[in-house]
Amino acid sequence: MCGIVAYIGNKEAYPIIIEGLRRLEYRGYDSAGVSILNGDIHTYKKKGKVKDLEDFVEGKNKSGTLGIGHTRWATHGRPNDKNAHPHNSGNSDLTLVHNGIIENYASLKEALAELGHTFTSDTDTEILVHLIEEYQKRDDLSLEKAVQKALKKAVGAYAIVVFDKKSPNKIVGARKSSPLVLGLGKDEFFLASDATPIIKFTNKVIYLNDEEIVTVNRDGSYEVVTLDDEVQNHEVKEIDLKIEELEKGGYDHFMLKEIHQQPTTIFESMRGRINAEEGWILVGGMQDHMKRMVDADRIIIAACGTSWHAGLIGEYLFEDLARVPVEVEYASELRYRNPVIRERDVVLALSQSGETADTLAALEMARNKGALLYGIVNNVGSSIARFTDCGSYIHAGPEIGVASTKAFTSQLVVLTLMALNLAKEKGTISEGYFRKLLYAMEDIPKKVEQILTLDEQIKYIATEIKDAPNALYLGRGYNFPIALEGALKLKEISYIHAEGYPAAEMKHGPIALIDESMPVIVMATNVSAYEKIVSNIQEVKARKGMVIAIVTEGDTEIKKIADYTIEIPETEEPLSPLLSVIPLQMLSYHIAVLRNCNVDQPRNLAKSVTVE
């Protein structure tokens, strides 16, 4: 949420910052802004997208080799020009960008106002830059010392970057609960919310930890200290990220590219972890902690949004295959209640970004209770990946479309492999079934490829239902969470109200909504509950609902009663979500495009939710 980028070096800063902001735009697109140092500070900011900022800056003075930029997801203050970042100090010497929320901003603002500070925005951020200014003035402090002092007063979450025109050869950054990465180039430094704006220039990075402040200097030196002034020596990491992975690669949208990447990304998530022929599974992250996992009383899965849906499928998998009790929790709820978590529990955090504030906070709470913390994360080097005791990357590659697609299927792959690995260790699965599932896993990528060829048919169905005001998604067993995920995908990118329900629950309420204007999308691939699903479809048809059924290839019975059927290849039931979610992703995509919605940047959303 909110993207930050900063540059100091010998090159022109503005083009680097603007390109960086374009890459970070998925983190928020309510407004964008830059401050460039050239004797004076030149600050430009505009409501809307980075493109609006670029148009606004056209022809203006933007030359300089030091600058900061920001793309905003609004928390405090409406999305408009005055609330856009950067925010400048009252004396106009300082300029600052911020990602996070300063929770005690109101009391700080009052105190600063009494000292004569006046404010021009409605943001919490502006308070910080005034506080730094105040400490500089009052205590005659250097920029970094004033930042340190100000941040000690701030309650909440922040990644900030700030510079002072009186110290034209340095930039200061700091973080707590919001990400900030330092990029080390040759005679130049970058600071950014993630590595995507940096990778074009250097693959050498340092991931800052909470409550650390970094000062980067034009002479090539830098220093990281804690809020308590302890010097930190960080290992410089080399990141493996290719610039092409950050481009649309010929697709109209990132979401479309990411849907179509799934045969590859699913394969990548399995690579080196499974061999059906030789009959083994090996999930690296589990090996050092296997005893603790085998002996676990419980697995608690904490996640948000789509990752939470993957977690629900994880519950089915672990209970079904490895016979361990599982609870799946919204991280935002788990962190604030008083849950019973013990040392013999394993807390599994699922997160594409690895930066979701609620998931991170739930982990912090669970660590205090002594549970083993396991992260299943996509973003390499992210906060959750670094905070957990152990974990597995899902290796889906950068996911840029705000609606999660390929990360979801890769999360399912890792959860399936983990459940199978644990089942094997515990002896809760027969050798025959184990082998069968291994072979079935290896077949998934080509089956996904086959589903992707149904694009025209799915697009046609999309044209039929694109104007519906509501939609209902139904599924049973392993496919109930897929109903939830299908509904979320439709809501977030096409703004059609949709609900996911366990198919049998429909008659306990939602059936009242069904009439001829209500498309009902039914996951009907389950072998175990097939007859029951057929009955549910009959119940919808009896009330004139329009049924779109996802069925197994060769199904004839449902074809006779449903309005549309989408046939997908057969697989073992625990793996069926990996296939049944694909047509739902495609359907949402096409509906959103037909409704002229911004697929990759849906209104009000941001990819990485780093505030509560």
Q: Which residues bind ligand M6R (CB under 6 A)?
A: 304-307, 351-353, 356, 359, 402-404, 492, 605, 608-609
Which residues partner with 379 through β-bridges?
none
Owner of token pair 């299927």: 409
Q: Which is nearer to ligand M6R, 193 or 352 (CB)?
A: 352
Which is closer to ligand M6R, CB of 95 or CB of 352? 352
**Closer CB to ligand M6R, residue 397 or residue 545?**
397
**Which of 13/581 has CB closer to ligand M6R?**
581
Rounded Cα gap, residues 64 and 44, in angstroms: 14
* Smallest distance from ligand M6R to CB 493, Å: 8
Active-site entry in 257, 489, 491, 607: 607
SS3 for 225-253 is EECCCCEECCCCEECCCCHHHHCCCCCCC
List, as one string, the DSSP characters of 420-433. HHHHHHHT-S-HHH
Q: CB of residue 30 vs ligand M6R: minimum separation in angstroms?
A: 16
Question: Is residue 529 helix, strand or coil?
Answer: coil
Closer to ligand M6R by CB, 440 or 593: give it: 593
CB of 497 to ligand M6R, least distance (A): 16
Distance in Å, CB of 243 to ligand M6R, minimum? 22
Distance CA 351, CA 496 (A): 25
Closest to ligand M6R by CB, 345 or 355: 355
Identify the CA nearest to 414 among candidates 285, 294, 280: 285
- Which residue, 441, 119, 429, is CA-closest to 270? 441
Q: Out of 2, 62, 145, 489, pick the active-site residue.
A: 2
* SS3 sequence of 361-410: HHHHHHHHCCCEEEEEECCCCCHHHHHCCEEEECCCCCCCCCCCCHHHHH
**3 state SS for 553-612:** CCCCHHHHHCCEEEEECCCCHHHHHHHHHHHHHHHHHHHHHHCCCCCCCCCCCCCCCCCC
Q: Indicate the Cα dihedral angle 5, 183, 16, 171, nearest 10°.
A: 60
Q: Which residue has the tokens 């990141």?
A: 239
Q: Confirm whether 2 is a catalytic residue.
A: yes
**What's the CA gap between 418 and 438, in Å, rounded?**
12
Q: Burial of 598 by CB count in 10 Å (0-12 exposed, 13-18 middle, 19+ buried)?
A: middle
Minimum separation from the CB atom of position 43 to ligand M6R (A): 31
- Residue with Cβ nearer ligand M6R (488 or 550): 488
Kindly tell me which of 177 and 307 has the beta carbon lying closer to ligand M6R.
307
Minimum CB–partner distance for residue 466 and ligand M6R (Å): 20
Residue 380's closest CA among 245, 248, 251? 245
**Is 186 tagged catalytic?**
no
At a CB cut-off of 8 Å and minimum separation 6, what does 244 contact? none
Pairing of strands 66-72, 94-102: unpaired
DSSP bridge pairs for 98: 160
Q: Give yes or no for a contact between 397 and 268, defined as CB atoms under 8 angstroms apart.
A: yes
Q: From the CB of 52, what's the least distance to ligand M6R, in Å?
A: 23
Distance of CA 301 to the CA centre of its chain: 16
Cβ nearer to ligand M6R, comparing 222 with 480:
480
In this structure, are residues 434 and 424 in contact, taking their beta carbons and an 8 Å threshold? yes
CB of 354 to ligand M6R, least distance (A): 7
Residue in the shown chain whose Cβ atom is closest to ligand M6R: 305
Q: Least distance from C-beta 381 to ligand M6R, angstroms?
A: 14
Residues serving a catalytic function are 2, 607
